[in-house]
Structure 1
Amino acid sequence: MHGPVSAAWLLVALCAATGAYCLLRMRSGVEEQRLSAGGEALMGFGMAVMAVPTAVFTPPRWAWPLYAAVFGAAALRTLWAVRAAPRHLHHLVGASAMVYMALAMAVAPPGPHHAHGGIGVPLLTGVLLAYFAGYVLLAGARLVPAAGSASGGGSTAAAGIRAGAAGWGDRPELARACRLSMGIGMVTMLLTM
């Protein structure tokens, strides 16, 4: 990915931290958390590696098809999960977007700056940008607490934590915040292609 070096390092840090938290979520006692956390950790670390500034490290040409194969396998696994639970569709779109970006980098001419053949933003990039921008807005709105939950005796999530029912790795709002972070990262990466 190409863009300002400081923004690239911030994206690397955000994606790596998200991937690390998702690895910790894989230790959850909740099976659904464990299943989605593995794919999200792969996405987080994959995005972090892909976002490293080219001035620091330029992957060899064979790395991009390898990225595409890894995320293609993740997309196929997720496609299988979507058959049983359509809520995994977002993970399928994310893995497919990573395959697309890896393939775009594989066919791009070498050099620090290049475009998609000089024709502007390709249609698929625009569709993915629109999807992830919408996802970021929706995920951000879901993180805003409801007006009634902040007053009174506290929220049910806080009550569950006080009772010891949910560990910090099982908190759904943290999982949503991770997905929001990765959505923001995906928008950033698509913009810099």
Structure 2
Amino acid sequence: MHGPAAVGWLLVALCAVSGGLCLLRTRSAVAEQRGSAGGEALMGFGMAAMAVPAAVLAPPRWVWLGYVAVFGAAALHALVSEHSGERRHRHRSHHLLGMLAMVYMAGAMAGAPSGAHASHAAGGAGGAPLVTGVLLIYFTGYVLWAGGRLVPLPAEAAGASGARGATAAAGWGDRPELAFACRLSMGVAMLAMLLTI
């Protein structure tokens, strides 16, 4: 990806930590959590690899095509899972769109001239402005929505001790706020990466 090296390293760290937390969530006792956590871990680690500053490592075109293949297969799996009714819930559509955004970004980098990976080239790397714009609007909305979900509720609105007891009884990887925090951080990273396309 293009952009200052410091921003790239911060994105690498953010995505790697998010991927690691999602990987820990795959050990959840809740089947729905395990299913979505595996795909999110793949996306977190993939985003971390894609965010390595180009000045440090400028991957050849075949690496970007490999990303396209991996995330294309993951998007196909998410699409089949959603339409077959397997693990069907609200987050599946977001997960599918995230995988497709990864395919889009990797495809844009694969199609960039070789010199564009090392530095900004006028009119070099980049996807279709309309697609990039739509993805930026979607992920901005998602980040705002997910961030709002992390804001603590007053005890009366949360159902007082009943909600607290259920959260305390849940395992560390089963906590819904951990899933939202991972998704929020990956949404922020997706925004930053889309801005560099």
For 2:191 and 2:149, locate their aligned partners in 1 and report how far apart those are by CA, in whole Å. 18
Deviations 1:38-90 (A, max 9, x none): 00000000000000001111111110111000000000000012222252000
Aligned to 1:173: 177
Q: Normalising to structure 2: TM-score of the pair?
A: 0.89
Deviations 1:112-164 (A, max 9, x none): 213555999610000000000010001111111123458996572x42354xx
The answer for unaligned runs of 5 or more in structure 2 is none
Query: How big is the alpha-carbon RMSD for the aligned residues of Structure 1 and Structure 2?
Result: 2.2
> How many residues are treated as equivalent by the alignment?
190
Q: Report if aligned partners of 2:109, 2:125 keep a CA contact under 8 Å in 1.
A: no
The more displaced of 117-126 and 182-191 is: 117-126
Report the AA paired with residue 2 of structure 2: H
Which of 166, 177, 180 aligns to 1:160? It is 166
Q: Normalising to structure 1: TM-score of the pair?
A: 0.91
For 1:169 and 1:2, locate their aligned partners in 2 and report how far apart those are by CA, in whole Å. 34
CA distance 1:101–1:160, shift in 2 (3 Å): same
Which of 107, 128, 131 aligns to 1:103? It is 107
Q: Report if aligned partners of 2:27, 2:34 keep a CA contact under 8 Å in 1.
A: yes
Question: What fraction of aligned residue pairs are identical, expressed as a percent?
Answer: 64
Q: Report if aligned partners of 1:116, 1:122 keep a CA contact under 8 Å in 2.
A: no
Equivalences for 1:10-25 in 2 at 5 Å?
10-25=10-25
Deviations 1:10-65 (A, max 9, x none): 11000000000111110111100100000000000000000000111111111011
Displacement after TM superposition at 1:110 (Å): 1.6
Q: Report if aligned partners of 1:149, 1:155 keep a CA contact under 8 Å in 2.
A: no
